[in-house]
Amino acid sequence: MKAIIAYDEADAESAAVRNADAAYVLKPSPDHYRPYLDINQIVDLASDLEVDAVHPGYGFLAQNKEFAQALKDRGIAFIAPKSEGIFDFANKHIIKAYAARAGLPILPGSESFVEREWLFRFAEAIQYPLVIKSVYGYGGVGMKVVHSEEELESSFNEVRHLCSRHLKCCTDVFLEKYLPGAQHVEFPVLRDANGTTIVLPEQECSVQRRFQKLVIETPSPRLSPQMRSRLESEIRVLANRLEVFGFATVEFLVKDGHAYFLEINGYIQPSHTATTLLTGVDLLKEQINILSGGALSVDPGLINRHGHVVGSFIYAEDPEKEFEPSPGNIERLHLPFGEEVYVQSNIFSGAVVSPLYDPMIAKLMVRGLTREEALHKLSIALSEFFVEGVKTNIPLMRALISSPEYAEGKVTPTYLDKPDQRRQLLEQVKTDEEQEIASLVAALSLYRDGEEELLVDQLNTDGSELGAASRWVNRRRKNV
């Protein structure tokens, strides 16, 4: 199978572009925020290239009906779950109704609506805190938590505005009860045309920021084996009812031993590597397999469910400045490696982290026989991960993973939201020796300032790299 990639100029240096069999650049278009949303351009390109199928990658048009239709009209397959008619996974609201009918517990919520008049009425019924969700939202876009009535209207406007900008589809929203401190757990599901369904071990998103994942674990330490098997069978029922074709993830919120169905996502996410690492099942391969008419190539009975995988997403951002993206040039880079340490990364020494897109620069995942072992490995791998030139969340992740709170499972997804909490976490990790060294470094830099002329540094060389000046090498002249 050949892979052709269509990309935005800003991603010109990415690994995907370099490694693809062919790469085509998308022209910027004034109508669209980013060319990745330019359906016409993409479809035209796909058509000209006579491709068999288009994979939407991680986001943008992954759940866009217009896109799917446009491709269908040109006879190009769309590698995403079939979303025709009632089986529209992208529509969170409808799917929720199906789940309820299949017997899965759901959170209290409202009908979907667009008009402002309904807003306050529904909110009153559900009570605070609640979440305003865009019906077609995904990946954290199109969701806002509302804690009180004062924030309600502005949040509503914000969500709708973001939707029209990023999602290119309807701006319907619905309200749902918010469960603070609940864990996100999702089960990857594969189902082929024969109806063979595989429900893979669940993934927990242990810590997030801005609704995007920072740390994930599979399986979730929070699910008891009984709960797991119960949910698995319920998911199986739902998947069959909805005639899931291909790959999907079924998401739950778990709190205090209860699980609530949240939504189904029909697209591969970056975090799914963890599942592959644990089970050996190549989700992407199976997805394409199924959607091209084949059957699952995996024997459900032979899937490995032992061991534990923990992963951390590395972003080029400044945790001290509320995770503000820190774009720039990556001057030097050393990726960690080791037994069962996996790094997927798009960057290299000299790469430029663009301010235009999500500043994720790597996925670091480790696998261990036990959770404890996995956490330990991840902590070490994080300490070996060296990036120079942009700020990253690596030090913060290191502090988090090695903290006792994390090991004891006391963290919630919003654990890192408060600056004080983050600071405290970093403080905890500091040893006395490190404090001494910090003062040493401060003194040393003052010392170097205080002394005159610093460049006596240059003299400690053996003169071997003389470059352009090589005609001037120190040598004796003839008698003057």
Residue type, 157: N
Residue type, 170: C
Q: How many residues bind another protein (CB under 8 A)?
A: 57
Q: At 276, is the secondary structure helix, strand, or coil?
A: helix
Write out the two tokens for 84: 């025709």
Q: Which C-beta is closer to another protein: that of 328 or that of 409?
A: 328
Contact present, 309 and 365 (Cβ < 8 Å): yes
Does the footprint of another protein cover residue 426 (CB under 8 A)? Answer: yes
Write out the two tokens for 238: 């739902």
Binding segment for another protein among 72-80, 158-166, 370-378, 470-478 (CB under 8 A)? 470-478
Residue type, 91: N
| One of 399, 401, 411, 416 touching another protein (CB under 8 A) | 399
Residue type, 344: Q
Binding segment for another protein among 16-24, 75-83, 184-192, 443-451 (CB under 8 A)? 443-451
| One of 107, 395, 414, 417 touching another protein (CB under 8 A) | 395
Does the footprint of another protein cover residue 420 (CB under 8 A)? Answer: no
Does the footprint of another protein cover residue 474 (CB under 8 A)? Answer: yes
Phi, psi of 133 (to 5 degrees): -120, 135
Q: Which C-beta is closer to another protein: that of 34 or that of 423?
A: 423
For residue 345, the minimal CB distance to another protein (Å) is 17
Q: Which C-beta is closer to another protein: that of 140 or that of 419?
A: 419
List the one residue out of 201, 181, 179 whose CA is nearest residue 189: 201
Continuous segment of H or E residues that includes residue 354 = none
Does the footprint of another protein cover residue 321 (CB under 8 A)? Answer: no
Q: Which C-beta is closer to another protein: that of 184 or that of 391?
A: 391
β strands within 220-345, DSSP E: 246-255, 258-265, 308-315, 317-318, 324-325, 328-329, 332-334, 341-345
* HEC-encoded secondary structure of 79-110: CCCCCCCCCCCCCHHHHHHHHHHCCCCECCEC
Q: Which C-beta is closer to another protein: that of 26 or that of 381?
A: 381
List the one residue out of 145, 141, 208 whose CA is nearest residue 417: 208
Q: Which residues contact 269 (CB under 8 A, 6 or more apart)?
A: 58, 139, 249
For residue 450, the minimal CB distance to another protein (Å) is 7
Q: Which residues contact 215 (CB under 8 A, 6 or more apart)?
A: 205, 206, 207, 310, 311, 312, 313, 397, 400, 401
Contacting another protein within 344-383 (CB under 8 A): 383
Contacting another protein within 14-73 (CB under 8 A): none
For residue 359, the minimal CB distance to another protein (Å) is 15
Does the footprint of another protein cover residue 454 (CB under 8 A)? Answer: yes
94-100 long-range CB contacts below 8 Å, 24 or more apart? 95/242, 95/263, 95/264, 96/261, 96/263, 98/238, 98/241, 98/242, 99/238, 99/261, 99/264, 100/261
For residue 322, the minimal CB distance to another protein (Å) is 15
| One of 386, 405, 419, 424 touching another protein (CB under 8 A) | 386
Q: Which C-beta is closer to another protein: that of 71 or that of 394?
A: 394
For residue 178, the minimal CB distance to another protein (Å) is 32
For residue 363, the minimal CB distance to another protein (Å) is 19
d(CA 400, CA 411): 9
Q: Which residues contact 209 (CB under 8 A, 6 or more apart)?
A: 323, 416, 417
For residue 468, the minimal CB distance to another protein (Å) is 5
Does the footprint of another protein cover residue 302 (CB under 8 A)? Answer: no
Write out the two tokens for 409: 């499972």
For residue 425, the minimal CB distance to another protein (Å) is 10
For residue 453, the minimal CB distance to another protein (Å) is 4
Rounded (10°) angle between helices 149-166 and 117-126: 120
Q: Which C-beta is closer to another protein: that of 226 or that of 464?
A: 464
Residue type, 122: F
Binding segment for another protein among 56-64, 85-93, 197-205, 428-436 (CB under 8 A)? 428-436
Does the footprint of another protein cover residue 466 (CB under 8 A)? Answer: yes
Q: Which C-beta is closer to another protein: that of 40 or that of 329?
A: 329
Does the footprint of another protein cover residue 3 (CB under 8 A)? Answer: no
Q: Which C-beta is closer to another protein: that of 210 or that of 332?
A: 332
Does the footprint of another protein cover residue 471 (CB under 8 A)? Answer: yes
For residue 271, the minimal CB distance to another protein (Å) is 24
β-bridge partners, 312: 215, 364
Enumerate binding residues for another protein (CB under 8 A). 320, 383, 386, 388, 391-392, 394-395, 399, 426, 429-430, 432, 434-461, 463-469, 471-477, 479-480
